[in-house]
Amino acid sequence: MRFFLREQKARVGLPEVARLEVEQHLRSDIKEAVKSLRTAHGCLLRLFGRMRELSVPTDDAIEAVIAKVFTELGVEVLGVPLWLSSAHSSFLKTIRKVPPSDRRRSSKTGYSGPTV
């Protein structure tokens, strides 16, 4: 898809509310993975007594990766500002627990966030 968009010199409109939500979900997923790794490493360390130190990304490194998600797509991304109407719509989705605002239901609809 990115190849096609680049070849067509396409531009992609990205609503700010969608960008913010994707970034927050990505941040949450990464931090949950780090927490899971630390927990698993702690269990193994108790069993084996000695192990190499676990290396996980710092908060700054996580934020740097998140900052690059949309800038390194290879196509021009046009930001669509957050307007009251789009905020209202997103808020209603959150209240109604409609994907992508509600991740518990997102897997049932096939939504899995952006592919980068």
Asked, for residue 26, whether it belongs to a domain, the answer is yes
Q: Which has the higher per-residue pLDDT, 74 or 53?
A: 53
Asked, for residue 72, whether it belongs to a domain, the answer is yes
Asked, for residue 25, whether it belongs to a domain, the answer is yes
Q: Is the dihedral of CA 64, 69, 70, 73 positive or negative?
A: positive
Asked, for residue 3, whether it belongs to a domain, the answer is no
Q: Long-range contacts of range 87-91, CB-CB < 8 Å, 24 or more positions apart?
A: 87/17, 90/17, 90/21
Asked, for residue 98, whether it belongs to a domain, the answer is no
What are the tokens at 33?
């993975």
Nearest to 114 by CA among 81, 76, 75, 73: 73
| pLDDT tens digits for range 20-56 | 889 999 999 999 999 999 999 999 999 999 999 999 9
Q: Which has the higher per-residue pLDDT, 104 or 17?
A: 17
The domain of 18 spans 14-81
Asked, for residue 6, whether it belongs to a domain, the answer is no
Domain count within the chain:
1
* Confidence check: pLDDT of 108 > 60: no
Asked, for residue 74, whether it belongs to a domain, the answer is yes
Identify the pLDDT of residue 12.
86
Q: Which residues contact 4 (CB under 8 A, 6 or more apart)?
A: 10
Q: Which has the higher per-residue pLDDT, 116 or 14?
A: 14
Asked, for residue 113, whether it belongs to a domain, the answer is no
Identify the pLDDT of residue 106.
44
